[in-house]
Amino acid sequence: MIRLAENTISQEELVNLSNWIPTAPQLTKGPLVLEFESQFAQYIGTKHCVMVNSGSSANLLMAYALLEGGYLKNKKVVVPAISWITTLSPFIQFGFETLLCDCDSQNLGINTQMLEEIFIKEKPALLILVHVLAHINDMEEIYRLCNQYDVLLIEDACEALGTKYNGKMAGNLALAGAFSFYYGHHISTIEGGAVTTNDTKLYNLMLSIRSHGWARDVDEKYRQEWKSEFEIDEFREYYSFYYPGFNLRSTDLNAFLGISQLKGMDEIVKKREENYNLYVEYLGDKYWKQTSQYDQLSSFAFGTIVENRLEVFKYLKEHGIETRPLICGSMGKQPFWIKINNGVTHLPVADVVHDYGLYLPNHLYVSKDDVKYVCEKFMEVAIPKFF
C-alpha cells in the first residue's frame, strides 16, 4: 500500500523515548518543551515559539491571544474556503464574523481579487492564510492588500513546515504562524503543535493563555507588570489568572520526540520536493497541478483535479494507492457551515476543488518508483479537468 502518510517516528526514537522516561526531571511541560521551542524558533527563523498539544490548539491560541491582546479593530476575520476546520472553528467559537474567501486557481491559497472585494466591503481586522499542501500564497499581493486596508495577517502553516519563500520559512511570513506535529505531518510528536512569532507581547500572552491564564511562564518583565497592576503578592500569585485561559500545554515526552524529529527536516524537505518534481514530470501538462512560487517546497501531497474523482479513488485503492479529497474541499459546503448559515456558500474555484480535487501521496517514505507507479495508475483512469 502506498499510503498518504506514514509514521515519521522510528523504532529507535521510541526506544530512546522509553529509556529517557524514567530519567526525566519532569514529564509534563518542562525543560524539553523549552528546548524544543528554542530549536523550532531557530529553524523557522522567528524570535519565539510556543509549543502546544496540536495544530488546532495553535490556531485557537493565536486567535484568542490576538483578541485578548487588543490587536483587532473588530471581530471580523477572513478565512480561506480551502482550509481546515480548526483554522476556522476558533473564530466561530469566539463569536467572530467569519468571512469565507475563494481560493486561487493555481496555488489554492487565498484568491486576492475576492480578498480585496471583501476588504473594501467588510473592513475586517484579520486574515488567516493556509498554505494548502505546503504551497505558499501570493504573499506580495497579500502584503500589499493587508497594508492598504489595515488588516492583520496570520498563517496556518500546519501543512507547510519547511517550505521557504523569499528567504523566509512558512510560519515567519506574518504576525504569527501555527504548526501541527500530528501523525502524517512533516514531523510528528504523536500529537503536537506550535505557534511561532516575532512579537514579544503576543508571545507572552500566548504563554499565559496556554496555561490557564497564569503568569508562571511569561517573561519576568510582563509578570512583574501584571502583578503590580493587580497588587498581587507572592503567595496569591500561585493562583492568579490574568486571562480566562486554556490548558493547551505539550508534555516533555512530545518535546523529546520533537527535538529528535527536527534533526530530519533537511532530508524530509529534500525528499518531498524531489517527489513533487517527479509528479510534475510524469503528469506533464495533461492534468491540472497545484503550483506556487517558492525557494524550497516541503510538499505535503500532490494536489490535482479530475472529472471522475470517485472512480480514480476506487481504482487507485484497488491498486494499493491511498488518495483523499483535497483537504476539506470548500468550507462553504461543509455540514457545519450549512447549519450555521442556513445553506451553502458558493465560491467558484473552491466549489470545483470540493467536487473534483484530490491528492496523491508524497512523504519521506514514498520512493521514486512509487511516484512512477502512482502516476501510471492515475493516468490509466483519471479524466483531466481544469479550472
Ligand X SMILES: Cc1ncc(COP(=O)(O)O)c(C=O)c1O
Q: Which is nearer to ligand X, 128 or 215 (CB)?
A: 128
Q: Which is nearer to ligand X, 55 or 124 (CB)?
A: 55
CA-CA distance, 205 to 326, in Å (whole number)?
34
Q: Which is nearer to ligand X, 125 or 158 (CB)?
A: 158
Q: Which of residues 162-191 bind ligand X (CB under 6 A)?
A: 180, 182
Q: Which of residues 272-311 bind ligand X (CB under 6 A)?
A: none
Choose the binding region for ligand X from 15-23, 24-32, 48-56, 114-122 (rule: CB under 6 A): 48-56
Q: What phi and psi, each to the nearest 5 degrees, are found at residue 124?
A: -70, 165
Q: Which is nearer to ligand X, 130 or 152 (CB)?
A: 130
Q: Which residue is nearest to ligand X (CB)?
A: 55
- The yes or no reply on residue 130 touching ligand X (CB under 6 A) is yes
Choose the binding region for ligand X from 90-98, 113-121, 154-162, 215-223 (rule: CB under 6 A): 154-162
Q: What phi and psi, each to the nearest 5 degrees, are found at residue 327?
A: 30, -130
Q: Which is nearer to ligand X, 158 or 278 (CB)?
A: 158
Q: Which of residues 318-347 bind ligand X (CB under 6 A)?
A: none
Among positions 46, 56, 211, 299, the unique one binding ligand X when judged by CB under 6 A: 56
Minimum Å distance from CB 236 to ligand X?
Answer: 35
Minimum Å distance from CB 258 to ligand X?
Answer: 13
Minimum Å distance from CB 242 to ligand X?
Answer: 26
- The yes or no reply on residue 254 touching ligand X (CB under 6 A) is no
Q: Which of residues 69-98 bind ligand X (CB under 6 A)?
A: 84, 86-87
Helices 139-149 & 112-122, crossing angle to 10 degrees?
10
Q: Which is nearer to ligand X, 257 or 283 (CB)?
A: 257
Site string for ligand X, 3-42 (x = CB under 6 A): ----------------------------------------
Among positions 78, 126, 158, 161, the unique one binding ligand X when judged by CB under 6 A: 158
Choose the binding region for ligand X from 68-76, 155-163, 225-233, 369-377 (rule: CB under 6 A): 155-163
Binding site for ligand X (CB under 6 A): 54-56, 59, 84, 86-87, 130, 156, 158-159, 180, 182, 193
